[in-house]
Structure 1
Amino acid sequence: MNLSQLAVSWWLQYLSPWIDRKFNQHCEHWFCNLLVAATAIWAPTKLVLTGDRELLDDKSSSGAATSNGGSERSWFAPAVEHGCMVISNHQTYFDWIIIWILSYQERCDGYVKIILKDDLKNVPVFGWGMRMFDFIFLKRKWADDQQTFTRHMRRIVEHDDPAWLLIFPEGTVLCNKRIAISDKYAEKMGHKKPEHTLLPRANGTRFCLSQLRGRIPYVYDLTMGYEGLKKGDIPEDEYGLVSMYGKRVYPREVHIHVKRYAVADIPEDEEGFTNWMNQVFVEKDTRMARFYELGRFPHNHTEDEAIPAGEPVLQMTREAKDNNLPAEFLSMWLQFLALLTPTYYVLHAVYSTAVSAVSALLS
């Protein structure tokens, strides 16, 4: 993938920025193919989704809404058409892979924008590819990061792609060190200490959303829970990427609760947005408490009083894989060959010409 990007992007971006962007989105789809294949082979998990009924534009079909039938596509229909912002609690580094696979199943995996630490852009192979995917790398210094956010949000607004901007407002995965820092800050600010999440950071999320208002209709709020964990466990210690892909210690089910907020209903001012974000994470913390009690997210009013009586939540289960993956992989390798074979001959011809020219000058 790196070779294909290096062979094409360095000149294509000058010839046609639009085609170059589409090419790198296709490369992002290739990389997600690899993630889906690795997960299907070494960590074959199921995605168990539950959702608020507000996800359906037509709420009259209650029977179909709670099944694994075709109506589940409408959960993410606005995101597929217009793009969205996705916010989530951050349990393990597997979270972003699962969300990317979810976007893959919605055929939007080429449009995902993930926020990462600035050091990662220089990691050989992976860092180079993510830079070409136009991922967002932050230095954790607001003066620098604000400019970075501005550039990336401007590109999302200007382009017609249904971009999925993924943000983890907690800033990092749960760990004892971060829990202690979060608890200390909660005590200082007079907030209740969360049990299963960290206090969210609202500043970057608010700034991004302020730039995207009018471009995206919804913010999708995901709450992630991993099968087999108990209250008090550190998810990353149990299901780290090395354990999952290296030792095949993985959750058989990843539970995802999906909630959708209309951007127009989210406060724009700093205080209002911060209060809204804090309330979102208070609900997440409560939802996670029920998850650890039930081993899944609640389904109805008897399991969670916040769910309206007589209105069970939406439910569906998906395998974290694609049945067409072998064909996709064959197609991907054929495209690699189609790109790299002529590139090799062109570069070889250029090199031979340059050597001949230098030899002629020296003689």
Structure 2
Amino acid sequence: MNMCQLAVCPWLKIISPSLDRKFNQQVERWFCTTLLAATSIWAPTKLVLTGDRSLLGESSSGSAATRNMGDLYSWLAPAIEHGCMIISNHQTYFDWIIIWIVSYCVRCHGYMKIILKAELKHVPVFGWGMQFLDFIFLKRKWAEDKQTFTDHMQRIVAHTDPAWLLIFPEGTVICEKRTAISDKYAEKMGLRRPEHTLLPRVSGSRVCLSQLRPRIEFLYDFTIAYEGLKAGDIPEDEYGLVSMYGKCVYPREIHIHIKRYPVADIPDDEEGFSKWMHHVFVEKDKRMAKYYELGHFPRDSAEDDSIPQDKPVMHITKPVAADNLPIEMMWMWAQFMAIMIPARYVYGAALSAIISAISAIW
């Protein structure tokens, strides 16, 4: 896929930026399909999705809610149509892959834009490819990252495609070193010390949302937890990418709780947004505590008294696999070869012409 991007993208950027964007959306679908295939073979886990009634609107109750509660398309309908911003806790480096796979489930995997740490762009194949896909790589230093944020967000909002922007406000996966830094900062600022997350970094999320406000209706809050872990475990130590894809050590279930917030209700000023984000992560930390207690996110008032008795949490379980993965992979490779075979002859002819011209000069 890197070869395909190298063969096509430089020319398309000059000839038609619009076609270049469409082409890279298709390559993004190929990347996600490849990741899904690899996961279904080496780490065939199961997705357990839960969501409160915010996903169906304030008026959702009775038969309408019952009818739609098992339909992920209903949960994410505004995001499918208009795009969205997703914030999530960061447990392992597999988090962004599983959220990308969630977007695959509603056929939006060609529109994902993920904010990742700068080191990942140097990973062979996937890191190189994600640079073409305009993923956002940050050094986690706001003075250096601010312009990167601004440039990428301007490109995203310049187009009508329903972009899905994923950001991890914690900035990195949870670990002992980062937990100690987070706890020290919480004590200094008089904030609640989280037990199962890190304190969120606010500046980047605020810039992203301020740019996306005219485009999107909702911000989606994902809380991720991995089966088989206890409170205090370091998820990345157990379920890192090498463990999952190299050693076939993977969780049998990955739990994701989804909640959505109307963008119009989220403060835009720096102080208000900071308070809002910290409140979201306090809720997230409490939700993680319940997960470690129950082995799943709470689903009704019997498991969590903050859940209304008449509005139990919605629930979907599905394997991480495509319905027609062999056909999808065959179609992907057919498209790939349809591009690479003509490109080979075009580049070969161009190279021959250049060599002939140089020979004639000499």
User: TM-score interval w.r.t. the shorter chain?
Assistant: over 0.9
**Contact 1:202/1:277, CA 8 A, preserved across alignment:** yes
SS in 2 for 1:275: helix
Amino acid at match of 1:21: R
SS in 1 for 2:85: strand
Residue 330 of structure 1 is matched in structure 2 by 330
Residue 118 of structure 1 is matched in structure 2 by 118
Residue 265 of structure 2 is matched in structure 1 by 265
Amino acid at match of 1:305: D
Q: How does 1:235-246 map to 2 (within 5 A)?
A: 235-246=235-246
Amino acid at match of 1:155: R
Amino acid at match of 2:61: K
C-alpha distance in structure 2 between counterparts of 1:270 and 1:361, whole Å: 64
Residue 315 of structure 2 is matched in structure 1 by 315
Residue 358 of structure 1 is matched in structure 2 by 358
Alignment gaps of 5+ in structure 2: none
Residue 157 of structure 2 is matched in structure 1 by 157
Q: CA RMSD in A?
A: 1.3
How big is each residue's C-alpha offset from its partner over 1:214-240, in whole Å with a ceiling of 9 and x where there is no partner?
111100000111111111111111111
C-alpha distance in structure 2 between counterparts of 1:200 and 1:141, whole Å: 14
How big is each residue's C-alpha offset from its partner over 1:23-78, in whole Å with a ceiling of 9 and x where there is no partner?
00100000001100000001111110111112114433243344x4xx33110000
How big is each residue's C-alpha offset from its partner over 1:250-291, in whole Å with a ceiling of 9 and x where there is no partner?
111101100000000001111111111111011011101110
Q: Do residues 183 (structure 1) and 183 (structure 2) align?
A: yes
Match of residue 59, structure 1, among 58, 61, 68? 61
Alignment gaps of 5+ in structure 1: none
1:318 CA displacement: 1.5
How big is each residue's C-alpha offset from its partner over 1:311-347, in whole Å with a ceiling of 9 and x where there is no partner?
1111111111102111111111111111111111111
SS in 2 for 1:260: strand
Residue 302 of structure 1 is matched in structure 2 by 302
Q: How does 1:211-226 map to 2 (within 5 A)?
A: 211-226=211-226
Q: How does 1:37-116 map to 2 (within 5 A)?
A: 37-57=37-57, 58-61=60-63, 62-66=65-69, 68=70, 71-116=71-116
Residue 199 of structure 1 is matched in structure 2 by 199
How big is each residue's C-alpha offset from its partner over 1:127-173, in whole Å with a ceiling of 9 and x where there is no partner?
32111100111122323311111111112211011111101111111
Amino acid at match of 1:112: M
Amino acid at match of 1:60: G
SS in 2 for 1:303: coil
SS in 1 for 2:91: coil
How big is each residue's C-alpha offset from its partner over 1:161-199, in whole Å with a ceiling of 9 and x where there is no partner?
111110111111110001111111111111121110111
**Contact 1:65/1:314, CA 8 A, preserved across alignment:** no
SS in 2 for 1:8: helix
Shift of the 95–212 alpha-carbon distance from structure 1 to 2, 3 Å rule, reads: same
**Contact 1:174/1:198, CA 8 A, preserved across alignment:** yes
Which 10-residue stretch deviates more, 120-129 or 337-346?
Answer: 120-129
Residue 21 of structure 1 is matched in structure 2 by 21
C-alpha distance in structure 2 between counterparts of 1:222 and 1:141, whole Å: 24
Residue 8 of structure 1 is matched in structure 2 by 8
Number of residues of Structure 1 aligned to a counterpart in Structure 2: 359
Residue 129 of structure 1 is matched in structure 2 by 129
**Contact 2:36/2:321, CA 8 A, preserved across alignment:** yes
SS in 2 for 1:259: strand
SS in 1 for 2:86: strand
C-alpha distance in structure 1 between counterparts of 2:248 and 2:124, whole Å: 25
C-alpha distance in structure 2 between counterparts of 1:308 and 1:219, whole Å: 22
Q: Do residues 141 (structure 1) and 144 (structure 2) align?
A: no
Amino acid at match of 1:63: T
**Contact 1:224/1:254, CA 8 A, preserved across alignment:** yes
C-alpha distance in structure 2 between counterparts of 1:249 and 1:153, whole Å: 37
Which 10-residue stretch deviates more, 176-185 or 56-65?
Answer: 56-65
- TM-score normalised by length of structure 2: 0.96
- TM-score normalised by length of structure 1: 0.96
Residue 287 of structure 2 is matched in structure 1 by 287
